[in-house]
Amino acid sequence: MSQRRDNRVAAMQYLYQWSLNQPRDLDRDLHLFFKQKDKERDYYAFAEELIWGTLQHVEEIDGIIKQYAKNWDFSRVARIDLAILRLAIYEMLHRRDIPPIVSINEAIDLSKEFSIPDAKRFINGILDQFKVTLGRPLRTAEQ
């Protein structure tokens, strides 16, 4: 597995954990989270950027998920799927260095590995609808 994939997995795991039990002290909680990982914290710098960015924009991101998850009660979205969606939408909105198609593909791969088989269709459906609103190239990163 590539370092970027390892970092996305770690970010998704943390976001899942965060959705179940939001800490009072995010810095300390992240320290404890990365301390139990098998590699040094420096290795997970990308994950940490994704976590901080996603949590900084979580209300905006959740609004987007609610908008595109038609016929779904937001509170019933599986927490793992929510973590995957939050991560992907954050990347698509705020990480111009990552092509949106990459974020979508990574989200689908994460869902195949960590969620139920039908989750990939749900996640892809939301991200596919959202991508057309971005107004930027889907297959290339912006500088």
Predicted local distance difference test score (pLDDT) of residue 143: 66
Is 34 part of a structural domain of the chain?
A: yes
Q: Quote the number of domains for the chain.
A: 1
pLDDT for the residue numbered 138: 87
Amino acid (one-letter) located at 44: Y
User: Does the reported pTM lie above 0.85?
Assistant: yes
CA angle, corner 21, sides to 77 and 41, nearest 5?
Answer: 105
Burial 64-76 (b: 16+ CB within 10 A, else e): bbeebbeeeeeee
Give a yes or no: residue 88 inside a domain: yes
Residue 137 domain-assigned? no
CATH number of domain containing 65: 1.10.940.10
pLDDT-flagged residues of the chain (< 50):
none
Domain that holds residue 39: 3-131
104 lies in some domain? yes
Q: What is the pLDDT of residue 137?
A: 83
Q: Has residue 86 been placed in a domain?
A: yes
